[in-house]
Structure 1
Amino acid sequence: MRTIKWIFLGALLGVAALPYLLFQQQELPAGTSLRSPDFEYSEARLLIDRTVWDREREQVVRSHQIFDTILQEIESAETFVIADFFLWNPWRGAVEPSGELRPLAEELAEALLRKRIQSPDLPILVITDPINRIYGELGADYYARLAGAGIPVVFTDLSQMPDSNRVYAPQAWFWSQYLPTGKLGGLRVVPNPFDGAGEKLTLAQLGRMLYFKANHRKVLVTGREGSAPRVVIGSLNPADGSANHSNLGAVVEGAVAIYAAHSELAVAEWSAMDPQQVQGEGSQFVARSIEKIRQSIPRVDSLPRAREGAPRVAWRSEGAIQAELLAQLNAANADTRVDAAVFYFSDRSIVKAFTQAIQRGAQVRLLLDANRDAFGREKNGIPNREVAAELMALSGEGAIEVRWAATHGEQYHAKVLRVVGDQQDVLCLGSANWTRRNLENLNLEANLLFQDAMEMGAAFDAYFEALWTNADGYEESLPYEDWAEEGWSLRWKTWLYRFQEWSGASTF
C-alpha cells in the first residue's frame, strides 16, 4: 500500500509539472548571455581582497582592494554611476557580532549618498537582487534613503530568467494556480535565516526563496569627462557577512566599460517594467536615469575593436562565460599551464573539460575553497571536495594538483581561470562560480576575459604562486590531503552533489 501511495504521489507531481515544462518561457531577456568583441584598454589592474591569519602576531590581516577601489571610483565619477551587486546587506548570519566585520553595506550606501550631494544632477542607478529585502519589504533602510535622495533602486525581476530548481519550480508554479495563497502566504512563521534577530519571514517569502534564483553580478561602471568609462568586476559582495572573504576582481578603463553599461541598463529597464521592483518613484523614475546615462555613452555598434596583437579584454555574461571556459580548456594541451582559483566547482561540462585537458597533458593546479564555512555555519564540503577527488583520481594519467585555501571562518570566494600556452595567454574572472546555476543562463553573471594581457596575467601569476607556496609567510593554502574526501563519505556526498547540481535544489 505504501508503495502505491508513493507511485501515486510521483504521478501527481509529474502531472503538475507537465504544463510548466511545456509552456515555461525560456527566451532570455535583453542584456544577458552576451559575448562582446575584443576591446583595447587604456588601464587595467588586478584587484585583490585577501584575508590571512598572522600566526606570529595572532591576528587577522586584511586587504580590501576591490571594495576600496569601488569607493574611489564612485568618488571620481563625473558623468554617471551604475552599481549592480548581488548581496548588499548588513546581515552577518550566524557570525558573532564583533568589530571584525567591516560594515561594507553601509559604507557603499554612504558613498553613493555623498556623491548625490556633491553632484545633484549626476545620474546614479542602483541594481540589486531581491534577496536583499528577502523577497518582501525587509531591506536595509539605506535603500529608502537612496531612493529618497533621487537614486533609483531596481530589484532585479528574476521572473524574467529561467528557473534553475527543477524539483521545486514546477510544483510551485502549478499549485500557485489553484491554491489560495493570500492570507496563508502572509503568515510570518519562518525563522529568518539571514538575520537571527530579524523579523520572521512569511510563507510567501519562503516560497520565493526556494526558487534559488539570483542576479549574481558584481559590477560598477562609472563615467568621466574627457576619458573612457571604467568598470570594476569581480567576486566581491558588499555585504557585512562577506567582509572577510578573499576575492579577486579587476578595474578596466576603456570600451568594455561602455559595453558593460549597456548590458546593465538593459537589465534595469526590463526589471523596472514592474513598479514593485523599484524602490522610489516607480518605473519612470528609473527610465529617466537610464536615458540620461545612454545619452552620455556611445552605442555598442560604434565601439572600436582591438587591434591585432594588442592586449585586449572582452565582456562575457551568463552562458557565454561557460562557453568561454570550455573553449579555453578544450584548447589546452601538453604545452599548457592551467591555474584556477574557485569558490564553487560543480558544473559537469567544466569537469569533463578539465578531465580531457589533464589527459592531453596540460599542467593543472586547482586552488579551491574547502566549502566548510558559510556565514558562521558549518558546511559539508559539497561540491568542491567531491569534484577534487574525481579529478585527483586522474593524477596517474596527467599532471593535476589540488590545494585548499586556508580559511578561518571566511570563504575563499574567487572565480578565476588562467591559461598559458603556445597559443593562449588568458585570464577570465568575475562573478560566476563554476556551477550549472551560474553558467547555464540561470543566474545573472558578469566576467571579464583578458587575452594577451601580459601585465594582468603576470599579476595573477604572482598572486597565485604566493598562495600556492605560502611564500608571503602566511599559511594561505593547505595540502589536498587536509580536506580530501574518501570512502563512504565521498560516495554519498558525490551522489548528493550530482543530484543537487542537476536539480538546482541547492544553494550552489
Structure 2
Amino acid sequence: MLRMSTDDNLFLETIPRKKTWQERWKAPVISILIITLLGVIIMNGWRSSTPEGLSFEGPMRRITDIEFLYDLTYRYRGETQHDQQIFETKLQMIEEASSFIVLDFFLFNDEYNREESFPDLTRQLTDALLSKRKDHPDMPIILITDEINEFYGAYTAPHLDKLRHNDVDVVITDLDQIGNSNPLYTGIWRTFFHRLDPSGPGVFPNPFSPDSPRVTLNAYLRLLNFKANHRKVLITDKSALITSANPHDASAYHSNIGIKLSGPIIADLLVSEKSVALFSGFEFPDLHHPSMALDSTEVQAQVLTEGRIRQRLLEMIQHAEKDEVLWIGQFYMGERQTVKALKNAADRGVEIRLILDSNRDAFGMRKIGIPNRPVATELMNHSSDKITVRWYDTRGEQYHSKLAVRSGEDQIEVIAGSANFTSRNISDKNLETNLRVIAPTDHDFSKDVLNYFHRIWENQDGHYTLDYSAFGNSRFPKRLLYRFQEWSGFSTF
C-alpha cells in the first residue's frame, strides 16, 4: 500500500484550491448591486422636477391700486406693542369677494406647544370662509395648502375637514412633484420608504403640539424631505394679497409684510395657482374677474415664482448703482449667488442695509443663529463701510419679512412675498410667490415702503432693532455648518 510522506502532504497543501463559480462571482455581483443601489439613490435624490407652470414670470402690468402692508411687534416704553394690518386685510378681502376666492398658505393650523396663548387666526379664517360659503353657495372657494398642516398625511386636520364638509375645495399640495431640497436624504427615502403609508394610528409624539394626534414613523420620514409649498397668497375677483404672513396661530405676532393690489395682474396669479392645483390632482375651474380700465400710471408689477425670484433679485442687485441704496429685510438669508452679488455691489459703492432676524427663536425652540449670523459676518467682514447689518430684536416671535428694495433718486424697485433668500426658497425647490414692483419714489406706495425701513432702522417711536455688535462675529464652526447646510439642503432654512 502506497503511503504519502510528510513532504507529499506539504506539497499538496500548497496547491491552491480551485474556487467555485459562486465564490468567483460573489464580489463582482455585490459590487454591481452596491453601485446600482447608489445610482438609484442619486437618481432619486438629484433628479430635477419642475412641473409645468412653475418658475413663472408674468408680464409687467400697470397698477393703479396698490398698498404696502406690515405687521410689527416691538417695544415701546418697556411694553410689547403689535401693529398689525395683514390678517384683518385677509378677512376684509374674503368678505368683499363676490365671484371667487383662492387661497394658498403654507401654515394654516392652530398647533403649537401651548406654553403661551395666541390669537386664533386659524379659527377666524375658517369661520370667514364658512360664512362666505353659506352666503354664496355656488361661489368657487379654493384653499391650497401644504402637507405640514396634516403632518404629512398622518391625520386629517379638524378645521380642514370642516371646510371640506362645507364644499370648500381643499387641495393638499403634492410635494412629490416638486424639486428635492434635501437630495441625499430624499434619494434614500424615495428608494426605500416612498410607498409607506404615513397615515394610521401614531405612536410618536407630535412635535408641533402636545394635544395634536400622535404620528407615525412614516410621517416623520416624509417630513425629513424638507419640502414645502411655502406660498402665501390670497386672490379674489376684487384684489390680491401677496404676503410673508401665515394664518397660523403661533405666527400671529411675527413681523411680516404684504402687498395688496388689483387689476389684470390677478389673472397672472390665478395662472400660477392653477399649476399647483393641477399637479396636485385638482381640476382648477376657469375663474374670471372683471376687466378694469387702467388710468395712466407709472406703477408696474409682475408675478414671480420659484427660480424666477432669484433671477430678478440678482438682476436688481447687479444693476444697483453707486448713489443708490439696497434695503433688505429677511427672516433667512443665505443663497450664495445673492451673497456674492451683494459683495460685488458693495465693491461698486452701493450702500447696502440689511435688517435680519437673529435666528434665535422658532416657536418656543432656541436656535443657533444659522444662516443669518454667519452671512452677516461674511458681509460685514467684506465691507463694513458699505454694508450695514441691524438685528430685529425679537422676543420669542420672528422677524419674518421677505423684502428687498432698490432705492434710487427717481424710482424704487421692490421684490417681496413669501420667499426667504436661501437656495431652498429661490432655486426651484420650494413653491414661492413674490411680486416685483417698480414705482416712482414720490408715489404713496414707495413712501410707505421706505418709511417702513427707516422706522425700524432708526427705532422711530419704539424699539425695533439692535446694532450688528449685539450678536458679534459668527465663529468659524458655525460659518462652516451654514455653508454645508446651504449646499446640501440638510437644514430647515
- Give the Å deviation of 1:176: 3.2
Match in the other structure for 2:455: 466
> What pairs up with 1:122-141 in 2 under 5 angstroms?
122-141=139-158
| Separation (CA, whole Å) in 1 of partners of 2:293 and 2:427 | 29
Change (3 A) 1:170 1:475: same
Match in the other structure for 1:43: 65
Say whether residues 1:434 and 2:421 are aligned partners. yes
Match of residue 410, structure 1, among 397, 401, 422: 397
Match in the other structure for 1:235: 244
Change (3 A) 1:75 1:13: farther
Match in the other structure for 1:261: 270
| Separation (CA, whole Å) in 1 of partners of 2:378 and 2:74 | 28
Q: Secondary structure at the match of 2:382?
A: coil
Aligned residue identity for 1:146: L
Match in the other structure for 1:96: 115
Match in the other structure for 2:27: none
| Separation (CA, whole Å) in 2 of partners of 1:325 and 1:499 | 23
Match of residue 232, structure 2, among 209, 218, 228: 218
Contact 2:143 2:169 in 1 (8 A): yes
Contact 1:311 1:452 in 2 (8 A): yes
For 1:349-402, what per-residue CA distance to the aligned partner results, in whole angstroms no more than 9, with x for missing partners?
100010100111000100000000000111000000000000001225x41110
For 1:37-73, what per-residue CA distance to the aligned partner results, in whole angstroms no more than 9, with x for missing partners?
11012211111111112334x3x22122111000000
Aligned residue identity for 1:353: A
| Separation (CA, whole Å) in 2 of partners of 1:121 and 1:187 | 37
Contact 2:64 2:299 in 1 (8 A): no
Aligned residue identity for 2:222: R
- Give the Å deviation of 1:422: 5.7
- Give the Å deviation of 1:13: 8.0
| Separation (CA, whole Å) in 2 of partners of 1:185 and 1:148 | 20
- Give the Å deviation of 1:84: 0.6
| Separation (CA, whole Å) in 2 of partners of 1:391 and 1:150 | 51
Aligned residue identity for 1:82: V
Match in the other structure for 2:279: 270
Say whether residues 1:500 and 2:485 are aligned partners. yes
Match in the other structure for 1:447: 434
Superposition CA RMSD, Å = 2.5
Range 437-446 or range 260-269, more displaced: 260-269
Match of residue 144, structure 1, among 154, 161, 168: 161
| Separation (CA, whole Å) in 1 of partners of 2:56 and 2:298 | 22
Contact 1:343 1:412 in 2 (8 A): yes
Q: Secondary structure at the match of 1:461?
A: helix
- Give the Å deviation of 1:484: 1.9
Long gaps (5+) in structure 1: 1-9, 224-228, 274-285
Say whether residues 1:373 and 2:361 are aligned partners. yes
Contact 1:86 1:218 in 2 (8 A): yes
TM-score normalised over the length of structure 2: 0.88
| Separation (CA, whole Å) in 2 of partners of 1:55 and 1:13 | 65
Aligned residue identity for 2:93: E
Runs of 4+ in 1 over 4 A off after TM superposition: 10-15, 184-187, 302-307
| Separation (CA, whole Å) in 2 of partners of 1:483 and 1:127 | 38
Aligned residue identity for 2:73: T
Say whether residues 1:83 and 2:68 are aligned partners. no
- Give the Å deviation of 1:304: 9.7
For 1:404-437, what per-residue CA distance to the aligned partner results, in whole angstroms no more than 9, with x for missing partners?
0011100000000010236862011100000000
Match in the other structure for 1:278: none
Match in the other structure for 1:21: 42
Contact 1:438 1:445 in 2 (8 A): yes
Contact 2:114 2:209 in 1 (8 A): no
Contact 2:357 2:372 in 1 (8 A): yes
Match of residue 334, structure 1, among 318, 322, 328: 322
| Separation (CA, whole Å) in 2 of partners of 1:154 and 1:424 | 39
Say whether residues 1:296 and 2:288 are aligned partners. yes
Range 326-335 or range 342-351, more displaced: 326-335
| Separation (CA, whole Å) in 2 of partners of 1:176 and 1:97 | 36
Say whether residues 1:32 and 2:54 are aligned partners. yes
Match of residue 401, structure 1, among 388, 393, 406: 388
Contact 1:382 1:493 in 2 (8 A): yes
Contact 1:341 1:416 in 2 (8 A): yes
Contact 1:13 1:171 in 2 (8 A): no
Q: Secondary structure at the match of 1:447?
A: strand
Change (3 A) 1:137 1:185: closer
Change (3 A) 1:270 1:166: closer
Match in the other structure for 1:3: none
| Larger Cα-atom Rg | 2
Match in the other structure for 1:481: 469
How many residues align structurally?
461
Change (3 A) 1:348 1:424: farther
Match in the other structure for 2:20: none
Q: Secondary structure at the match of 2:486?
A: helix
Change (3 A) 1:480 1:210: same
Change (3 A) 1:12 1:443: farther
Contact 1:318 1:444 in 2 (8 A): yes
For 1:164-204, what per-residue CA distance to the aligned partner results, in whole angstroms no more than 9, with x for missing partners?
10220111112237xx956x996734321111232322111
Contact 2:72 2:83 in 1 (8 A): yes
Change (3 A) 1:17 1:416: farther
Change (3 A) 1:173 1:80: same
Contact 1:186 1:203 in 2 (8 A): no
Contact 2:154 2:200 in 1 (8 A): no
TM-score normalised over the length of structure 1: 0.86
Match in the other structure for 1:244: 253
Match in the other structure for 1:277: none
Say whether residues 1:343 and 2:331 are aligned partners. yes
